[in-house]
A and B are shown apart, each in its own frame.
Chain A
Amino acid sequence: MSERLIERARHGDPDAFVALIEERQAAMSRVATAILGSGADAADAIQDALVAAWRGLPRLRDDGAFDPWLERILVNSCRLAIRRRNHRRVREMSLPPVSGDDGTDLPHPRAGDDLEGIAEREAFDRAFDGLAIDDRAIVVLHHLEGRSLADVGRVLGIPVGTAKSRLFHARRRLDLALRAESDG
């Protein structure tokens, strides 16, 4: 199915391109947001990635390599999105909901747990944001997306052994950063 869509998209069929992306939108969205930590940045990165994919599709020779090829482009676009992040003047902010969709008040969280949870989440985000993009990508693809190290290696263009080593070092760097957060 995907092969036919890829072939049609390669020849300029926008319906096929959109169908291809629809099949993958959840994973693309999840990966980019986890790497970048911002839905707006993720949307920017996805837009860049789709432009690059649309343009590059005629040059993709192996249809079976479409997924790792697209993910590689997405990781590269995340790299660019990080560079652009500082150029934006207004940032997306996550605000806690004050009421339910039906207007009713939401139950109050337990204050102590909430504060502790917020601090932990912020510490994790700071530590994770300090990692290089490739480190973030390898952690997200392997742990969040459940991809094998062989798959991750194909996405990043590295041998499986290197992927394994990089994942180990990425986890270690993350742990060190988290330890520094808790010490600080």
Chain B
Amino acid sequence: MTGNDDELVRHLERRSANRPSGDQIRSIAWSVAGTEARRQPLRWRGAVGAAAVVVAIATIGAATLILGSPSSPPASSIPSQTARSTPATSATPATSASPVEPSVTPPQIGTADWASIAWVRGDASLFAYDHHTYLMDAVAWGSGFVAVGYTIDEGGNILRVWQSADGRAWSVLAPDVLHGLVPVRIGVVGGRLVLLADRPIQEGASASQMETWVSDDGAAWRPGPSAPRGIDADSQTPVGPLGVLARGGGLTAWLDPDVTAWSRVSRTGSSPALRGGVLSAGRDGWFLSGASGSTKSVYLATVGGIWTSADADQWQAADVADPGGAIGPIHIVDGGYVAIGTERGLACDGCLGAIDLTQVAWWSADGGTWRRVDVAGEHDGDPLWGSRSVGDGHRLITISGARVVAAGDAAHPPKLLLETIDGRTWTGIAVAKDRPSPAFQGPVAVGPSGIVAFDAIQAVRNDPTAFVPWFGAATEAP
């Protein structure tokens, strides 16, 4: 059928007919090259200088093409039911203990505040390869850190595991058993490292099967339980005290905290109709957050929402005061839970364009009732603007402007770092203004002694500067 070149070209032209328009590409280019940044009157952005242009790459769910401000969301779509999960009655995964609803009483607060962070630029040579390289995820483990990525070699994908005992010095392994896999998510479940990785059914082609791998030391890996076919993972797949919850192919599957089995969660119809829905791990259950509402035209008049579930099957709407336009991932902190979202509705499935980088926060002691918290405090402007949020299950760190890339290589201005441990009180972490700091575009992990951050997730070959490993050593407040 394609022996004839004209026939092949005809098929390719037809295949590419439904392509993005020139206006859409121009809109993306403008979004990338700084329109968002010029609109933001932030004090800290002044440090960037006139020549520094920023790149907006925010995503909450998938980004959407917003050509103007969406209209106010209809009040009737605001979830008003207080979330009180019913105990799991069916389809409960094989966990060692039956999951229960998010606890009402927050645990004891015991983590010390961080007063300052001192950034140290590490040796990037261990992360540089003469092949296209991707750094996919990182996690704090014990007193150190583990990062995973892969290079695309002529012989296929080479999965690599980088380890650091202190965040400063790194070593790398490419275990043979992981050859050919594309790492997607790494987390810690029950003290073990759990790696979720895709195995392409044909190298580079669309189809792949997710595999689970387990390690006690980062060096020796053994196959974990098989996930149901179609289950998928990404960098936001929740990994928490109850194990892992992943979706795909119309299914949800739960990896128990003992890492013994994936259990398929039945769909009984209570899952809310969300756009840009994001799963998060709670202490005793799961969260689904995102937005609901109108999706007419390209304008999305959505309302943020949070749903809770003890069994990942039956979901109850949480009571969210002043729910904004969309709510992103939820983080565990010592004082309960923190959600970060946006004022404007932007959750969307698969479209893109200008992005609302103005972010707000909610706090909940029990996961069921949420209220807005004042993050700004004494900080000027919008301290969560374009921020990334990274937690370790005790503290949550927000890095303002981390979804905004400064042009250039090593002269990144210091970002504004905020910390909350109780979820209600937010304090700035002092960062030396005269020292370079990471761009925070790659994986970031918070550990007990500081933060590891990489500058990128992707490097074309012969780019030895892309994956600079930064370590921010924390000093505790007196």
Shortest distance from the beta carbon of A184 to any chain B beta carbon, whole Å: 14
Q: Which of the listed residues B2, B5, B52, B62 has the most CB atoms from chain A within 10 Å of its own CB?
A: B2
Chain A interface secondary structure, helix, strand, loop or mixed?
helix
Contact B351 A82 (CB under 8 A): no
Q: In the complex, A11→B28 CA distance in Å?
A: 19
Contact B204 A58 (CB under 8 A): no
Is B453 interfacial (CB-CB < 8 Å)? no
Is B25 interfacial (CB-CB < 8 Å)? yes
Contact A51 B203 (CB under 8 A): no
Is B26 interfacial (CB-CB < 8 Å)? yes
Contact B29 A21 (CB under 8 A): yes
Residues in B13-51 with C-beta less than 8 Å from chain A: 13-22, 24-26, 28-35, 51
Q: In the complex, A76→B12 CA distance in Å?
A: 19
Our pick among B22, B132, B463 for the contact of A59 (Cβ within 8 Å) is: B463
Q: In the complex, A55→B204 CA distance in Å?
A: 25
Is B441 interfacial (CB-CB < 8 Å)? yes
8 nearest A-B residue pairs (beta carbon)? A132-B204, A14-B33, A90-B349, A33-B19, A34-B16, A25-B25, A21-B29, A144-B12
Q: In the complex, A72→B203 CA distance in Å?
A: 18
Contact A42 B2 (CB under 8 A): no
Question: Hey, which chain A residues are within 8 Å of B378, CB to CB?
Answer: none
Question: Hey, which chain B residues are within 8 Å of A37, CB to CB?
Answer: 15
Q: Which of the listed residues A46, A91, A131, A133 has the most CB atoms from chain B within 10 Å of its own CB?
A: A46
A residues near B (Cβ < 8 Å) are 11-14, 17-18, 21-22, 25-26, 28-34, 37-44, 46-48, 50-52, 54-59, 69, 72-73, 76, 79-80, 82-92, 94, 120-121, 123-125, 128-135, 139-140, 143-144, 157, 171, 174-175, 178, 182
Is B169 interfacial (CB-CB < 8 Å)? no
Tell me the count of chain B residues lying within 8 A, CB to CB, of chain A: 68
Contact A143 B20 (CB under 8 A): no
In the complex where A22-B29, A55-B405, A175-B2 touch, is A33 in contact with B18 (Cβ < 8 A)? yes
Q: In the complex, A87→B24 CA distance in Å?
A: 23
Shortest distance from the beta carbon of A115 to any chain B beta carbon, whole Å: 16
Contact A157 B9 (CB under 8 A): no
User: Could you show 16 A-B contacts with beta carbons less than 8 Å apart?
Assistant: A12-B52, A18-B30, A21-B25, A29-B22, A34-B16, A42-B19, A42-B20, A56-B463, A76-B458, A83-B184, A130-B207, A132-B204, A139-B12, A143-B5, A174-B2, A178-B1
Contact A54 B460 (CB under 8 A): no
Q: In the complex, A39→B132 CA distance in Å?
A: 25
Shortest distance from the beta carbon of B299 to any chain A beta carbon, whole Å: 17
Question: Hey, which chain B residues are within 8 Å of A57, CB to CB?
Answer: 407
Question: Hey, which chain B residues are within 8 Å of A125, CB to CB?
Answer: 15
Question: Hey, which chain A residues are within 8 Å of B184, CB to CB?
Answer: 83
Question: Hey, which chain A residues are within 8 Å of B409, CB to CB?
Answer: 58-59
Question: Hey, which chain B residues are within 8 Å of A34, CB to CB?
Answer: 12, 15-16
**Which residue of chain B lies nearest to A15 when distances are taken between CB atoms in the complex?**
B33
Question: Hey, which chain B residues are within 8 Å of A178, CB to CB?
Answer: 1-2
Instruction: Map CB proximity to A onto B435-472 as digits: 1 under 8 Å, 0 otherwise.
Output: 00000010000000000000010101101010000000
**Which residue of chain A lies nearest to B198 when distances are taken between CB atoms in the complex?**
A83
Our pick among B2, B33, B461, B465 for the contact of A54 (Cβ within 8 Å) is: B33
Contact B2 A86 (CB under 8 A): no
Our pick among B21, B205, B458 for the contact of A130 (Cβ within 8 Å) is: B205
Q: In the complex, A59→B204 CA distance in Å?
A: 27
Shortest distance from the beta carbon of B386 to any chain A beta carbon, whole Å: 13
Is B8 interfacial (CB-CB < 8 Å)? yes
Contact A80 B458 (CB under 8 A): yes
Shortest distance from the beta carbon of A135 to any chain B beta carbon, whole Å: 7
Identify 14 new A-B residue pairs, CB closer than 8 A, beyond the known A40-B350, A47-B57, A82-B205. Answer: A12-B408, A17-B29, A33-B15, A34-B16, A39-B19, A46-B20, A51-B32, A54-B405, A76-B132, A83-B198, A86-B248, A128-B15, A132-B203, A133-B205
Shortest distance from the beta carbon of A32 to any chain B beta carbon, whole Å: 7
Our pick among A17, A31, A143 for the contact of B9 (Cβ within 8 Å) is: A143
**Which residue of chain A lies nearest to B250 when distances are taken between CB atoms in the complex?**
A89
Question: Hey, which chain A residues are within 8 Å of B34, CB to CB?
Answer: 14
Is B3 interfacial (CB-CB < 8 Å)? yes
Question: Hey, which chain A residues are within 8 Å of B101, CB to CB?
Answer: none
